[in-house]
């Protein structure tokens, strides 16, 4: 693997050509290429569970669910991110490299990404006119936060715990929160920190 400089600045067009050829995934933030960090087993399990539950529920609809390796164009030529899970139900999404019209984005939180996922990433995602729900999932303890765009265009927060069922209104799918945490070991995660 070739060592890369700490900070890389290139154009969006250069990024879109360069990034798919890399072994590691990189996001694009206003001209800067940012390496993605690796996740834990719990992170991977929760992402996989969410993907599977959504994919099974949406199998007979025109919506498409993607996990980890598909980037979202948040702002053309400015921001391209890799959410943990993304859903599009928009037939205009026909680019093989990225999603331009997401309706649902899910980020599984980790200590290294939580501040960004809650802050500047969510601020950028909110600019997408098609995004209806943004979901943040904890992995160190059970807990899900869902931000929904209401009819006035404001984002409203709802919290869910292990005993709740989550209705994802953007795709009309119900998911038991406990199913998201299938095979997740919270004690092991806390012991390894």
Residue 96 pLDDT grade (very low, low, confident, very high; cuts 50, 70, 90): confident
Quick check: is 164 in a domain?
Answer: yes
pTM of the model: 0.91
Count of domains in the chain? Answer: 1
- The whole domain housing 169 covers 40-191
The pLDDT score that the predictor gives to residue 157 is 98
Q: Residue 100 in 3-state DSSP?
A: coil
The pLDDT score that the predictor gives to residue 187 is 65
Q: Which of 177, 158, 170, 144 is nearest to 88 (CA)?
A: 170
Quick check: is 93 in a domain?
Answer: yes
Quick check: is 123 in a domain?
Answer: yes
Quick check: is 25 in a domain?
Answer: no
Q: How large a percentage of the chain has pLDDT more than 70?
A: 93
Residue 6: is its pLDDT beyond 80? no
Q: What is the pLDDT of residues 8-47, one digit of tens each?
A: 899 999 999 999 999 889 999 999 999 887 778 999 999 9
Q: Is 82 exposed, middle or buried (0-12, 13-18, 19+ CB in 10 A)?
A: buried
Quick check: is 12 in a domain?
Answer: no
Q: What is the pLDDT of residues 138-193, one digit of tens each?
A: 998 999 999 999 999 999 999 999 999 999 999 999 999 999 999 998 864 444 44
Across 73-98, average pLDDT: 92
- For 99-148, give the DSSP string: ESSEEEEEEE--TTTHHHHHTHHHHHHTT-TT--EEEEE-SSSS-EEEEE
Quick check: is 3 in a domain?
Answer: no
Give the mean pLDDT of the chain.
91
The pLDDT score that the predictor gives to residue 39 is 79
| CATH number for position 50 | 3.90.1570.10
Residue 3: is its pLDDT beyond 80? no
The pLDDT score that the predictor gives to residue 141 is 92
Quick check: is 16 in a domain?
Answer: no
The pLDDT score that the predictor gives to residue 188 is 46
Quick check: is 35 in a domain?
Answer: no
């Amino acid at each position: 693997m070739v060592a890369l400089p700490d900070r890389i600045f290139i154009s969006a067009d250069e990024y879109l050509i360069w990034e798919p050829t890399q072994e590691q995934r990189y996001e694009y933030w206003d001209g800067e290429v940012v390496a993605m960090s690796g996740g834990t087993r719990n992170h991977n399990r929760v992402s996989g569970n969410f993907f599977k539950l959504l994919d099974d529920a949406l199998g007979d609809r025109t919506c498409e669910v993607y996990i980890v390796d598909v980037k979202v164009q948040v702002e053309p030529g400015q921001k391209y991110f890799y959410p943990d899970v993304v859903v599009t139900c928009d037939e205009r999404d026909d680019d093989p490299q990225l999603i331009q019209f997401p309706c649902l984005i899910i980020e599984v939180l980790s200590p290294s990404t939580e501040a960004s996922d809650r802050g500047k990433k969510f601020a950028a995602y909110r600019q997408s006119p098609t995004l209806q729900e943004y979901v943040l999932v904890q992995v160190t303890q059970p807990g899900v936060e869902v931000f929904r765009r209401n009819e006035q265009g404001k984002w409203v927060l709802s919290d869910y715990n292990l005993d709740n069922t989550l209705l994802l209104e953007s795709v009309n799918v119900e998911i038991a929160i406990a199913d998201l945490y299938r095979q997740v070991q919270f004690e092991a995660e806390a012991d390894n920190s």
